[in-house]
Amino acid sequence: MANKQAVLGSGARFSGKISNAKSIEINGFVEADLVTEKVTIGSTGKFIGAVDSDLVVIAGEYEGKMQAESVWLTETSRISGEVHYKSLQMDRGAALNCRVVHNWNENASTKVDETEKETSEVSDEQKDTK
Amino acid sequence: MTEITYISEELVMEGNLDSAGSSVVVAGRFKGELRAKDVLLEANSIFDGNLVADKVTLGGLVKGEVSANTLNVASSAKVEGNLKTNALSIDLGAEVSGSITRISK
């Protein structure tokens, strides 16, 4: 496995601090604050705490304040708290009880065009549905 | 679904990890309480704290207390602390300092 990664098994419970992480996969229970590049919460996983990540994929349960470039909430996901995102995908069945904020923060303009493209696509789709 | 818990190189985890029914492999750093069925601390890992498991292999830098039914200290290990075990093997080259006792039944 590449460096700076962690996988938490489905029976594992962790609470504490995780640092210097690039990618985290959670199939158990984790209570922590995370700054990383990729977070995956598996269908058996539950995460409580703040997340700051480029990509977040959730199939399990999440509680906390999340700040992410791209968020994918699958059909089994359950979210509470706050989601700040630039690009969001939500599958039918995803359960959200949270505040959802599309943030155009100051970093957005300095980041690559990719996110702009994505967000413009989203707005095009929104126009179509109206 | 993955049962195993893996902490790869350079990653730092501090706190309490309870993985009673399954295995934990640490190649990075762990500080705190670790409880599991099997634990493998790989050659470049750093562990500081309290470890309780059924079967443990120590391969990296270990500080603190280790309690395991079966304990293997690999040749790459540097251990400073208390080892509690009922079945112990220490490979040639391992650096161990501290006390070794049996787990009272």
Confidence band (pLDDT; 50, 70, 90) for B79?
very high
pLDDT per residue as tens digits for the range A39-89: 999 999 999 999 999 999 999 999 999 999 999 999 999 999 999 999 999
Higher pLDDT, B86 or A103: B86
Write the ipTM: 0.91
Residue B8 with chain A: CB contacts under 8 Å: 1-6
Per-domain residue ranges of chain A:
2-104
What pTM value is reported for the model? 0.85
Please check the confidence at residue B13 and state whether its pLDDT lies above 80: yes
Q: Which residues, in sequence order, are bridge partners of residue B51? A: B34, B66
Q: Output B5-9 pairs: Cβ under 8 A, ≥24 positions apart.
A: B5/A6, B5/A7, B5/A8, B5/A9, B5/A12, B5/A28, B5/B36, B6/A1, B6/A5, B6/A6, B6/A7, B7/A6, B7/B45, B8/A1, B8/A2, B8/A3, B8/A4, B8/A5, B8/A6, B9/A3, B9/A4, B9/B44
Rounded CA-CA distance B38/A23 in Å is 23
Find the residue in B nearest to A8 (Cα): B5
Residue A13 with chain B: CB contacts under 8 Å: 16-19
Residue A4 with chain B: CB contacts under 8 Å: 8-11, 28
Please check the confidence at residue A21 and state whether its pLDDT lies above 70: yes
The answer to whether the Cβ–Cβ distance between B12 and A6 falls below 8 Å is no
Please check the confidence at residue A109 and state whether its pLDDT lies above 50: no
